Structure 1
Amino acid sequence: MDLDFSAEDLAFREEVRSFIAANFDDDMRAKMTQSKNGHIDKAGQVRWLKRLHEKGWIVPDWPVEYGGTGWAAAQKYIYDMEMALAGAPSTGNMGIRMCAPVVMAFGTPEQKAQHLPKILATDVWWCQGYSEPGSGSDLASLAMKAERDGDDYVLNGSKTWTTYGQWADWMFCLVRTSQEPIRQMGISFLLLDMKSPGITIQPIRTLDGPPQGDQEVNQVFFDNVRVPVSNRIGEEGQGWTYAKYLLQFERGNAYAPGLTNQLAKVRKIAGLERADDGQRVLDDPDFRRKLSEVQIKVEALNATELRVFAGRAAGEAMGATSSMLKLEGSQMQQAITELALEAVGVYAQPFVEDTWAHLRGETNVPRAGPDYAATVAPMYFNYRKTSIYAGSNEIQHNIMAKMVLGL
Structure 2
Amino acid sequence: MTLPPPQGPYGSQPFGGGGPQWGGPPPQGPGPQPQYGQPGAPWVQQPQWGTPPPNKGGKGKWILVGLALVAIIAVSIVGTVLVLRPESGGGNGQQSNTANGGSEFASANDTGPANIITEEPTCEAWGKISDGLEAAVPGWNDQDYSKPATNWTPEERALFEKKSAALTDAIPSVTSLAKQTPHRVMRELYGQYLAYSRAVIDSIPTYSSEDNYIVGASNQLAGALNRICDAIYFRAAQQTAPLISAPPAPSDVKSMNSTASAEPDRFLSGHIDTCKDWMALAERFDKDSEPWRQVSAKIPATEWTPDQKAAMDAVVPVMTTYSDEMEQLGRKSQNLVWEDFATLSAQYMRAYVQGIPTYTVNIGYLSSVSTSISNSIYWACKAVS
| TM-score for the superposition, normalised by structure 1 | 0.28
When Rg is computed on C-alpha atoms for both structures, the one with the higher figure is 1
By relative contact order (CA 8 Å, sep 6+), the higher-ranking structure is: 2
| TM-score for the superposition, normalised by structure 2 | 0.29
